[in-house]
Amino acid sequence: MVVDDPPDSPAGGSDVSPRRTIELLGQFTAAWEGLIARLTTSVDLYDGSYSQYSNCVYEEIRAETYGLDLGQTGWMTSEELSEFSKLLQLNSNSNLLEVGCGAGGCAIFLAQSSGSTVTGIDINENGIRNASALAESSGLAARIQFKQIDAGERLPFVDESFDAVFSNDAMCHIEHRLDVLKEWRRVLKPDGRIIFTDAMVITGIISNEEIATRSSIGRYLFLPPGENERLIASSGLHLLTAGDVTASVENISERWKDARAKRRDKLIQLEGEPNFLGLQRFLDCVHTVSQQRRLSRFSYLASRERLSEPINSTSGPHRK
Ligand SMILES: C[S@@+](CC[C@H](N)C(=O)[O-])C[C@H]1O[C@@H](n2cnc3c(N)ncnc32)[C@H](O)[C@@H]1O
C-alpha cells in the first residue's frame, strides 16, 4: 500500500494540518515514554550504601544527615534509637533480634549502649557483609551476630528465644505482614516486646507519580492508618503505644538530599548520573510527601502478653 505524504495545509476546515498533527503526536509519544521510563526506573540505594559504607564521601553525608552517624539508611535519629532502646527495656541480660538491620551500625549501637546480645538479620548481602565486619572491628563479635535472611519467611530461631524484636523502616519492604508479626510473637519470650516503624502510612492524597518515585528504590507496601494496629492485634501481640514520627522523615530527607547535592560530582563518579539523579528525586519526593503529612511514619510498641499497668514513655511522641 502506498501512503501519501500528509499535506501541509489543513483540510476539511481543521485548524491543525495533518503534518502538524503527526509532529504533535510524536512529541506526545516521546513525553509519554519519558514519563513511563521515570515511573518504572529503579534506583539503587541499599547496595551502594552498604558496599560503599566506609567511603569517606558517604561517611560525610551520613554525619551531615543524621548528626550522629550510626550507619543508617532510613529515617531514624540517634535520639529516637535511644528512646526505642528504653521502650524495649534493653539491658545486659537482653537478647535482641533486629530485623532489617542494614549495614549493622544500629545493632552495634544498641549492643554497646545497653549491653544486650544482638542478632541482626537482613536480606541484603552487602549489608550483612558490612555488619559482620563492623562487629569484628568493634570487638563485639562475641555478643553480636548477623545473618542474611528474608524476614518474610519463617525465622530460623527457636520459640521464646528473644526478649525484644526491633525493626526500623524495614517492615514496609517485607511480604506477609501478619505472618511476620506472628513469627516475632513466636520467637519472643513471654515478657518480650517489639518495636517497628513504618513510613508508608497513607494519610493524604498521593499521585501515581509520587507513589512511583517514592518506591523507585525497591518494593514497598503502602497501607492506610489503623492497618498496622489491626495486624498487631490479629497476630496476638498487644499494642502499647503508637507514635507519629514523621518529623524525622521530613528533616532527614531534606538534609540527606542537600548533603548529596554538595558532593554531586563525586557521587556521579561513584553512582553514575542516572542513579544520582534518581536518588535526589526520591529524597525530594520523600521530603514533600512527609512535610505535607500525606505519607506518615509511625512507630509501634507492642508486648507479647497483655500488661496490667499502662506504660509511660519518658519522652518522644508515643501515645496509645
Ligand atoms: C530503610 S533500610 C533500614 C535499615 C536500618 N534498619 C536503618 O534504620 O538504617 C530497610 C532495610 O530492610 C531490608 N529488607 C528489605 N526486605 C527485607 C526482607 N524481606 N528481609 C529482611 N530485610 C529486608 C533492606 O535490605 C534494608 O537494609
Residue 31 Cα to ligand 1 middle (Å): 34
Is there a domain that residue 30 lies in? Answer: no
Residue 118 Cα to ligand 1 middle (Å): 16
Cα–Cα distance between 49 and 53 in angstroms, integer?
6
Cα–Cα distance between 10 and 126 in angstroms, integer?
61
Is there a domain that residue 290 lies in? Answer: yes
Q: In whole angstroms, how far apart are CA 161 and each of 46, 103, 158, 216, 312?
A: 29, 23, 6, 36, 26
Is there a domain that residue 142 lies in? Answer: yes
Beta-strand pair 295-303/188-202: antiparallel
Whether 169 lines ligand 1, by a CB cut-off of 6 Å, is yes
Site to substitute for ligand 1 among 46, 214, 279, most atoms within 8 A of C-beta: 46
Whether 120 lines ligand 1, by a CB cut-off of 6 Å, is no
Q: Which H or E run contains 238?
A: strand 238-244
The strand pairing partners of 298, in sequence order, are 198, 244
> Using an 8 Å Cβ cutoff, are 67 and 137 in contact?
no
Whether 104 lines ligand 1, by a CB cut-off of 6 Å, is no
Q: For residue 185, what is the domain's CATH number?
A: 3.40.50.150
CA-nearest of 113, 123, 121 to 88 is 113
Whether 195 lines ligand 1, by a CB cut-off of 6 Å, is no
Residue 167 Cα to ligand 1 middle (Å): 8
CA-nearest of 35, 39, 47, 3 to 22 is 3
User: Residue 223 is part of which domain span?
Assistant: 46-309
Is there a domain that residue 14 lies in? Answer: no
Is there a domain that residue 40 lies in? Answer: no
Number of Cβ atoms within 10 Å of the Cβ of 11:
9
Which pLDDT does position 3 carry in this prediction? Answer: 40
Is there a domain that residue 239 lies in? Answer: yes
Residue 68 CB partners (closer than 8 Å, separation 6+): 77, 78
C-alpha grid cell, residue 175: 511480604
Cα–Cα distance between 168 and 154 in angstroms, integer?
19
Residue 168 Cα to ligand 1 middle (Å): 8
pTM of the model: 0.87
Which pLDDT does position 26 carry in this prediction? Answer: 67
Cα–Cα distance between 316 and 320 in angstroms, integer?
13
Which pLDDT does position 17 carry in this prediction? Answer: 78
Length of the chain: 320
Residue 1 Cα to ligand 1 middle (Å): 58
Residue 173 Cα to ligand 1 middle (Å): 7
Is there a domain that residue 154 lies in? Answer: yes
Which pLDDT does position 16 carry in this prediction? Answer: 74
Q: Where are the beta strands (DSSP E) in 82-134?
A: 95-99, 117-122
Is there a domain that residue 64 lies in? Answer: yes
Query: In total, how many domains does the chain have?
Result: 1
Q: In whole angstroms, how far apart are CA 189 and each of 13, 37, 193?
A: 80, 48, 8
Cα pseudo-dihedral 177, 181, 95, 90, rounded to 10: 90
Whether 106 lines ligand 1, by a CB cut-off of 6 Å, is yes
Instruction: Please give the chain's pLDDT, 320 residues, in tens.
Output: 344 444 444 444 456 777 776 676 767 655 555 555 555 568 999 999 999 999 999 999 999 999 999 999 999 999 999 999 999 999 999 999 999 999 999 999 999 999 999 999 999 999 999 999 999 999 999 999 999 999 999 999 999 999 999 999 999 999 999 999 999 999 999 999 999 999 999 999 999 999 999 999 999 999 999 999 999 999 999 999 999 999 999 999 999 999 999 999 999 999 999 999 999 999 999 999 999 999 999 999 999 999 876 565 544 454 44
Cα–Cα distance between 302 and 228 in angstroms, integer?
11
C-alpha grid cell, residue 69: 552517624
The strand pairing partners of 121, in sequence order, are 99, 147
Whether 105 lines ligand 1, by a CB cut-off of 6 Å, is no
Q: Is 311 exposed, middle or buried (0-12, 13-18, 19+ CB in 10 A)?
A: middle
| Atom 14 of ligand 1, nearest CA residue | 100
C-alpha grid cell, residue 47: 547496595
